[in-house]
Structure 1
Amino acid sequence: MTSDSFLAFVLFAAVATGTPGPNNLMVMASGANFGLRRTVPHILGIALGFALMIALVATGMAQVFGLFPWLEGTLLAASALFLLYLAWKIANAAPPEADRPQGRPLTFLQAAGFQWINPKSWALALTSVAVYVEPSQALIAAMIFAAVALPLVTIWTVAGAWIGRLLRTPRALRLFNIAMAALLVGTMIPAFA
């Protein structure tokens, strides 16, 4: 990777991980409902799970789609179902003041595993490999994505925690959760278009 392509890749990683998508909307909702501290495993799962995905895709996993074309449609369907499930969980999250038991944020492993069925993650990983990353640079690319993603995903979580403090009533938090769930479902539109 030349210095020019390195800078371009870092900027690509920043735009890719800093823009709205399933991961950022989920950590924003988690920040609003659980706060930053309880969402840290989710943040780390996104950053490190996606870094692992980049490394594996760059080292040849992308060829699997060439060998098994039906796998792409299956992955897309599984992604849609899981995103709908997550949207339902977000929309129905109990506000902290509710009498029923509180939910919990995604764990590190759940967030890392989510990368493998997240359509945006697949699009970013495949684009990274097609445009920027040679197989010999897989580890470097993974470290760049992790280093860029950690602060940006944390910013989304902090924004959610700040919004959570503004949403003082259970009704306001419920409306926020429904809006986040609707936006999460909306992130599927480009994958199916």
Structure 2
Amino acid sequence: MTTDLLLALFTFALVSSVTPGPNNIMLMTSGVNFGFRRTIPHMLGIEFGFGILLLAVGVGLGAVIHAVPGLQLVMKVASAAYLLWLAWKIAFSKGSSEADAGVSKPITFLQAALFQWVNPKAWAMALVAMGAYVSGDSPLLSVAVITAAFLLVGIPTASIWTGFGIGLRQFLADPRRLRIFNVAMGLALVATLWPMLR
């Protein structure tokens, strides 16, 4: 991979990872409700799940999904159902004080990893990255480089969104404001379904 192509890949990985989407909305909400330390499994789950998704798309899963129209519909329905469930969970999250009492819990490593398989933005990012940056001369090496590029920018960008949430914690210490924020984030997560349903 040439230096220019590698720079373009890292730019795409950074921009697509740091822009709003389901993962980043959930990370910000988790930062508000649970703090940085309790959001780390969520961040690591995103990275693990998305890394596996990238590798799978790179070795041909994306082509199978495009070739089988019924499978695309199943993926869309599963994505919509899971996003709606997560939006409900976010909208009615109880916040950090009640979370410490066991009333509400942050998203786990496994939940975050599995979510990548039904996350429409993750699929779009993986398909575009593999379509644009895989080299015909060394396809497996370029799939590994693409995956590494996304993993290198993933934790810093996830930390930024979690940090945004932490920055809002004091303002959202008022239970009424926290409730409004959580409902707004739940609705924002539902809004991420729009591009998939068009």
**TM-score where L is the length of structure 2:** 0.93
3-state SS of paired residue (1:24): helix
Query: Would you say the 8 A contact 1:97–1:170 is kept in 2?
Result: no
Q: Name structure 1 gaps, 5 residues minimum.
A: none
Amino acid aligned to 1:128: A
Query: Match for residue 152 of structure 2?
Result: 147
The CA deviation at 1:64 is 1.4
Structure 2 CA distance for aligned equivalents of residues 110 and 96 of structure 1: 19
CA distance in 2, matches of 1:5, 1:21: 25
Distance 2:98 2:73 in 1: 40
- Where 1:105 maps in the other structure, the secondary structure is coil
Give 1:167's aligned residue: 172
Equivalent position of 1:102 in the other structure: 103
1:71 partner amino acid: L
Structure 2's unaligned 5+ residue stretches are none
**Aligned partner letter, 1:133:** V
Correspondence 1:31-46 to 2 at 5 A: 31-46=31-46
**Count of equivalent residues:** 193
Distance 2:113 2:95 in 1: 25
Query: Where do residues 1-193 of structure 1 align in structure 2 (5 Å cutoff)?
Result: 1-98=1-98, 101-134=102-135, 135-136=139-140, 137-193=142-198
Q: Deviations over 1:52-89 (max 9, x none)?
A: 21111111112211442211111011100110110000
Which moved further from structure 2: 95-104 or 51-60?
95-104
Alignment partners' CA distance in 1, 2:63 and 2:172 = 47
Contact 1:79 1:119 in 2 (8 A): yes
Does the CA-based 8 Å contact 2:130-2:146 persist in structure 1? no
How much does 1:97 deviate? 4.0
Measured after TM superposition, the shift of residue 98 of structure 1 is: 4.6
CA distance in 1, matches of 2:68, 2:165: 39
Q: Which letter maps to 1:192?
A: L
- What amino acid is the match of 2:152? A
Whole-angstrom distance in 1 between the partners of 2:70 and 2:2: 36
Does structure 1 conserve the Cα–Cα contact (< 8 Å) formed by 2:66 and 2:72? no
Q: Distance in 1 between matches of 2:102 and 2:94?
A: 7
Percent identical pairs in the alignment equals: 45
Aligned-partner SS, 2:117: helix
Q: Partners of 1:66 and 1:153 in 2: how far apart?
A: 29
Q: CA RMSD, aligned part only? A: 1.5
TM-score by length of 1: 0.95
